[in-house]
Amino acid sequence: MAIKVVTDSTSYIENSLIKELDITIVPLSVNFPDESFKENEVDHEYFYRKIKTTGIIPTSSQPSQGSIISIFENIVSNGNEIVAIFLSSDMSGTYETAISARDIVLEDYPHAKIEVLDGRTNSMALGLPVIEAARAALSGQKFDEIVDLAKYMIKRVHFYFAPETLEFLKKGGRIGGASALLGSILNIKPVLFVENGKTAVLKKARGSKAAIEAMLERLDNDYKTNGLKHILVHHINCHEKAKEIADKICDKYDFTVPVVPIGPVIGLHVGPGAIGIVYCTEK
């Protein structure tokens, strides 16, 4: 018997780590009018090129209840236990669907142990608790210890990001047309963050450089007051810009700072050129 960790594709964990830590991924989908893709199967460059050439921003859709039931059943039928962590229930119905899938599976496997957690965020802010839970499972920690560790991590991850353009936020209904127009004219870049499962505005900066500096300032404040365990830089189709920021953070704090792309499901709401910083505090 083993403890298996399950998450969804918006965690954006590297494929090598998924394989190494035996993490099971439940994919969300992106949908153009003429074709649909599982998020973890579509090429990112093709995806953003298609948006640019067609002018169409696709929609996203959560996994079906049946697909989650199938994954859960496959795990518990072999005598294994499940710790599942999904993106924020305020951002997607995936978590609620997983809860209902769990309840159905438990009808046929009443002695199975399946814990489904609301990750309260997305991207690698979701991925970090998943990775730590998977490492704990492989090291032989008990079920309740792994669940407690995941909950501890969820409370301590921070995710700040700055879109390069307001177009995607406008088309997604997250800001009004007038705000988007004024922001473009004045070169205003909102610095956003995820708090209590929802996206909120930290500040409005004049230009990309000021937006990035605002994120780095928050990182530095938390480093001084709470200590840091993990830091990484996210990007949407702008690896070189992200690498420069990661190198800057690495030089200042002597941390290894991975650069991790954000996939299509989150990317279609924010747009290419966005930069994000994810970190976990020690307290």
- Mind listing the pLDDT tens digit for each residue in 142-187? 999 999 999 999 999 999 999 998 778 766 554 443 344 345 545 8
- pLDDT category, 114, cuts 50, 70, 90? very high
For the four alpha carbons of 166, 32, 87 and 253, in that order, the dihedral sign comes to: negative
For the four alpha carbons of 237, 243, 248 and 253, in that order, the dihedral sign comes to: positive
Angle at 226 (CA atoms; ends 133, 267), nearest 5 degrees: 55
**pLDDT for the residue 173:** 52
Torsion of CA 248, 157, 114, 14, to 10 degrees: -10
Q: Which amino acid is at 135?
A: R
Query: Which of the two residues, 106 and 229, has the higher pLDDT score?
Result: 106
Is the model's pLDDT at 25 over the cut of 90? yes
Would you say the pTM of this structure is higher than 0.85? yes
Is the model's pLDDT at 243 over the cut of 90? yes
Instruction: Write out the residue limits of the CATH 3.40.50.10170 domain(s) in the chain.
Output: 3-155
**Interval 267-272 mean pLDDT:** 92
**pLDDT for the residue 170:** 67
**pLDDT for the residue 187:** 80
Fold annotation for 3-155: Rossmann fold (3.40.50)
Give the CATH number of domain 157-281; options: 3.40.50.970, 3.30.1180.10, 3.40.50.300, 3.40.50.1820: 3.30.1180.10
Instruction: Report the relative pairing of strands 114-118 and 59-61 from DSSP bridges.
Output: unpaired
Q: Name which of 158, 225, 228 is nearest 193 in CA terms.
A: 158
**Residue carrying structure tokens 């079920």:** 143
Instruction: Write out the residue limits of the CATH 3.30.1180.10 domain(s) in the chain.
Output: 157-281
The length of the chain in residues reads: 283
